[in-house]
A and B are shown apart, each in its own frame.
Chain A
């Protein structure tokens, strides 16, 4: 069965960086993409960006351009999301989700979520 397993919770100080991993299993990793979505406490879901596990192409949300990077390790079927220059309003649960191979679409499988807390 398809599973996405994310790394554990993180506590960071403002200005630091965080890198969250998402290990996929149960399907051919390189025939799909991965989107990252975050949810601040009590807020709506916010799409952060997408990466193709086939060719590494990325699309990032405009409001995160320059602070976010998404990569994949095809030998380990793992996707990574790094967010830099963290601020208190980056405190959220971060999800990875399986997406389309060549472009974003609907998200059919999700990771369990990783809580990232940013506080001085």
Chain B
């Protein structure tokens, strides 16, 4: 099984900050990676697919990069609505999710 490791597990930031979340795969997954945002009590929401493709309707302050085993999700200017937990997910071999990164208010 492909394991996905996210860092940090928790991130404290302020509105307007640039935020970067890292996701590492236990083996190469090419660009077969997606990112999701989840708020408490809600279903995840797709942000990015194929490592860097922005899902329709998602604000352009969200961006994804990387390939192989190392990936990043960047929020260029953190907004109040962005405080949530973020998950990466590989789909190179079945599906596995990272452990999540909680973005909280500093």
User: A28-68: which have CB < 8 Å to B?
Assistant: 35, 37, 44-47, 50, 59, 61-62
Sorting the interface of chain B by its residue count into under 10, 10 to 19, 20 to 34 or 35 or more gives 20 to 34
Which of B10-18, B19-27, B74-82, B87-95 is found at the contact surface with chain A? B87-95
Say yes or no: is B84 at the interface (Cβ < 8 Å to chain A): no
Pick from B44, B49, B50, B97: contact of A46, CB below 8 A: B97
Instruction: For the complex formed, measure the closest distance between the CB of B91 and the CB atoms of chain A, giving whole angstroms.
Output: 5
Q: List 23 A-B contacts (CB under 8 A).
A: A35-B95, A37-B95, A44-B87, A44-B98, A44-B100, A45-B97, A46-B97, A47-B94, A47-B96, A50-B94, A50-B95, A59-B94, A62-B1, A95-B44, A105-B32, A105-B91, A106-B50, A106-B91, A107-B34, A107-B89, A110-B43, A110-B45, A113-B43
